[in-house]
Amino acid sequence: MSRKPLIAMIFAAAVALVGCVTINVYFPEAAAQKAADQFIGNVLDESGVAPAANGSKAPPKPAAGKQPSASLLDLVIPKAMAAESPDIQVRSPETDAIRARMKARFGGPLKGLMDSGAVGFMNNGLVAVRDAGSLPLDQRSQASNTVRDENSDRDQLYAAIAKANGHPEWEPQIRKTFAAGWVERAPSGWYYQDASGAWKRK
C-alpha cells in the first residue's frame, strides 16, 4: 500500500523519458608555462631560501607566446639557433629527481653554507667551497661532500636539459644561462664569481 513503488514507477518512466544520462567531466586543464627561471626559483623558494629582493628578480614579462624562456636565452644563443630555442624548464623524471635533491640540499646543509659565505656560486653554473676556514671543523668534510653532490647533480641537470631538448650540444649555453640565473635569484649576502672568477658578495 506504500506510495513508494508508485513514485518509483513514475520516476522510472521519467528516466525512460529522459533517456540517456550523460555526465560531462572537465578535468583541470594543464596550466601554461611559467617564468623562464622556474627551475631555479622552484629550488630556491620551495627549499625555504628567502627569495631575492623584488628589484633583483627577473622582470615579470607578459606571457609572450609559448616560449618565454627565449628572452633569457637570446643573450647566449645565436639568433639562428634561437629560432628553435631550448626550453630550459623542460621536465623529465631525471630533472624532477635532480630538482628534488637540490631542494632537499638547499633546504638543508647548503643553505647554511651559502649564508655563511663558505660556499658560493661559480661562473660555470657549479658551486664551490670558497672559504673552508670559516666553517667549524666538524662541518668541513660534510661541506665538501655537499658541494661534490650538488655539482654532480648540476652537471647532470645541464646535460639532461640539453638532451631533453634534443640538442646535447646546447649544454654549454644552458650552463651559462643557469649560472646567470642562480646569481640573479640568489638572496643578498650570498657569494658568486664574476666573469673573471673573482668572488663577490651579492
Partner 1 sequence: MLRVSTRPLVFVLLTWVALTWGGAAHAGLSIGADSLSVPGLAMTDMQADLDPQADGKGISLRLTAKKADMPALGWRKLGVALDGQLDRDELGRWIFDGRIRLRGAPGGALTDASVKIVADEAANTLAITINQDKALAEVALPIDQVTHAQITLKNLPAGWLQGLLSTAWSGHPTAGKVNADLALDLLDTGTQAAGQFALDGVGFETPGGAMAGQKISGSGRLGLDIGRDAATIDLDAALRGGEWLLGPLYASLPDHAVQLSLSARSQKGTLGVRRLRLTDPDALQLEGELGFDARGNLAQLRFDRFNARFPAAYERYGKGLVRSWGLSGLQANGEVAGHAEIGPDGPTAFAFQTGGLDLAMADGRLGVNGLRGSLDWSASEDRPTTKLGWRNLQVYRIPNGAAEGTWRSKGGTLALEKPMAIPVLDGDLRVLSLGWKPAAASGERLQTSLALTQIDMAAFSRAVGWPAFGGTLGGAVPSLRYIDDRVELGGGLSLNVFDGFVDITGMTLSRPFSDAPVLAGNIALRDLDLARMTSVFDFGSITGRLHGSIDDLRLVAWQPSAFKANLLADQGGRISQRAVNNLTSVGGGGIAGGLQGTVLKLFKTFGYRRIGLSCTLKGDVCSMGGLGAAKDGYTIVEGSGLPHLTVVGHQREVDWPTLVRRLQAATKGDGPTIQ
Which DSSP string do the residues of 147-158 spell out, in sequence order? HHHHHHHHHHHH
- Rg of the chain, C-alpha, whole Å: 26
Closer residue to partner 1 in complex, CB, 42/71:
42
**CB of residue 21 vs partner 1: minimum separation in angstroms?**
5
Closer residue to partner 1 in complex, CB, 4/79:
4
CA 105 to chain CA centroid, nearest Å: 14
**CB of residue 139 vs partner 1: minimum separation in angstroms?**
9
Judged by DSSP in three states, 127 sits in: strand
All three cell numbers of 15, joined, read: 528516466
**CB of residue 78 vs partner 1: minimum separation in angstroms?**
28
| Site residues for partner 1 per CB under 8 A | 8, 11-12, 14-16, 18-31, 90-94, 96-97, 100-101, 104-105, 132-133, 135, 137-138, 140-142, 145, 149
Ramachandran area for residue 117 (φ above 0: left; ψ -120 to 50: alpha; else beta):
left
Closer residue to partner 1 in complex, CB, 10/53:
10
Closer residue to partner 1 in complex, CB, 15/75:
15
Place of cell 631550448: 86
**CB of residue 54 vs partner 1: minimum separation in angstroms?**
26
Closer residue to partner 1 in complex, CB, 2/54:
2
**CB of residue 188 vs partner 1: minimum separation in angstroms?**
25
C-alpha distance from residue 172 to each of 64, 83, 104 (Å): 25, 18, 26
